[in-house]
């Protein structure tokens, strides 16, 4: 699957998870606990997801997750020391 051609059709927050549906039929579901910024968000902040040409944006939390990162399993867990353990 080529991450440069994947397009997100919808994204939603539900019961502690973000669920992303791609145009290809692929679905990615991940717990907000895997993202340091998302893990601190309120339910209202987490539900306010904007889809951009490059990925997802949570304006109230100042968090962006790219298509490429989502497809690699990177949900914003980058730290200065590198990836945290999964």
pLDDT for 57 equals 96
Q: Within a domain: residue 86?
A: no
Its pTM stands at 0.78
pLDDT over 70 (residue 84): no
Q: Is residue 1 part of a domain?
A: no
Asked, for residue 32, whether it belongs to a domain, the answer is yes
**What contacts 42, CB < 8 A, 6 or more positions away?**
none
When divided into structural domains, the chain yields a total of 1
Q: What CATH number did the domain enclosing 69 receive?
A: 3.30.2020.40
- pLDDT the model gives residue 1: 47
Strands of the sheet containing 8-14, edge to edge, are 8-14, 17-22, 27-31
Would you place residue 78 in the very low, low, confident or very high pLDDT band (cuts 50, 70, 90)?
Answer: low
Structure-token pair, residue 41: 């968000």
Which residues constitute the domain of residue 43? 8-76
10-62 confidence digits (pLDDT tens): 999 999 999 999 889 989 899 999 999 999 999 999 999 999 888 999 999 99
């Amino acid at each position: 699957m080529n991450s440069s051609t994947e397009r997100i059709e919808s994204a939603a927050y539900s019961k502690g998870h973000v669920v992303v549906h791609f145009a290809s039929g692929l679905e990615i579901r991940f717990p907000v606990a895997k993202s340091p910024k998302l893990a601190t968000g309120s339910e209202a902040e987490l539900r306010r997801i904007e889809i951009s040409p490059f990925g997802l944006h949570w304006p109230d939390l100042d968090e962006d997750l790219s298509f490429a990162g989502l497809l690699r399993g990177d949900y914003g867990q980058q730290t200065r020391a590198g990836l945290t353990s999964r």
